[in-house]
Structure 1
Amino acid sequence: MLCQKCHKKTASVFISSIINGQESRMYLCNDCAKNYPLFNFNSQDPFSIKDVMEKFDISEDDSIETKKENLLAMDKDCEESDIICPNCYSTYNEYRETGKVGCSKCYEVFEKQLKPILRNIYGYEEYIGKSPKKDNSHIYPSKEMITLKEDLNRAVEQEEYEKAAYIRDKIKELEECNE
């Protein structure tokens, strides 16, 4: 759809207003929206659409991914509760309220916040999902294997090499049993 003001560029902003019960709709390109009288506030206004659009560096040439990346880059300064998954748009606050993530990408986006929670619940920091009903243990690492590998890393970090060797041997035994 073309901009209803300049009739040249693609409309990317939709404005709907209701005045005295009468609804009017307008589709504008970014440039016309920046100069639209309703949004052309002075720069002291705390919520100037013009300033917001400039801050987000919105361009018609930008892909959705570029716009998401710009939003995420700006979001680094936000508080944890404001973190948003770019895939499903779930927020960390929603996760805290429901206890459920929106998609698999949420585990990456909320990684810093979820690691301590997962460690408390499952005993390890990575969520590997539910085990399938059919025996696919050769495909997925067992919870015991993950725990042993974490113990091995800790033992090496603490320079407890005898303990590390013992854990390494247990890991090899488990791997041989699964083959």
Structure 2
Amino acid sequence: MANPLKCDLCSKPATVHLTQIVNSKIHKVDLCEACAQAKGVTDPSGFSLADLLLKASLNPEPTGDVKCTACGFTAQDFKKTGRFGCSDCYTHFTRLLEPMLETMHKGSAHSGKVPQRALDRRSLYERLTRLETDLDQAIKAERYEDAARYRDEITQVRQSAGPQENAGK
């Protein structure tokens, strides 16, 4: 019979096994029933995402010496609740957050994401607006050759845009 796995915290036989995959790397945590209950793993409502992120069972406990000056929240408070006390906590706990974020994402700065079709549509709208403004100015200045060129370009842009862009025109 194979040796049973031991708890990563106390070396008793492990009965709770957690597996987390981060950046194609598998991280396993084995806990006994008592340690799993103490960490809140067996109670879904008490299970803290911060416990997984901090890998509390594998790394030393965060020290409580870092404290948010705005709300008084500590690293221990974050570990316990999985949440911060205020928006200033993100600044005060940067050293704690960056390693976690880097293992979960590409970098630690949020850059957002805009669908390419939305970018294309906005670019097309801006180009049409600029051409229409140029057309109005050319007409007011009685530069009819320029106005005709702007009109033709507007027509060409609208045709290349397809039916969804022409629906409101």
Q: Do both proteins adopt the same fold according to a TM-score greater than 0.5, normalized to the shorter chain?
A: no
TM-score, normalised via structure 2 length: 0.29
| Largest Rg, 1 or 2 | 2
RCO higher in 1 or 2 (8 Å CA, sep ≥ 6)? 2
Calculate the TM-score normalised by the size of structure 1.
0.28
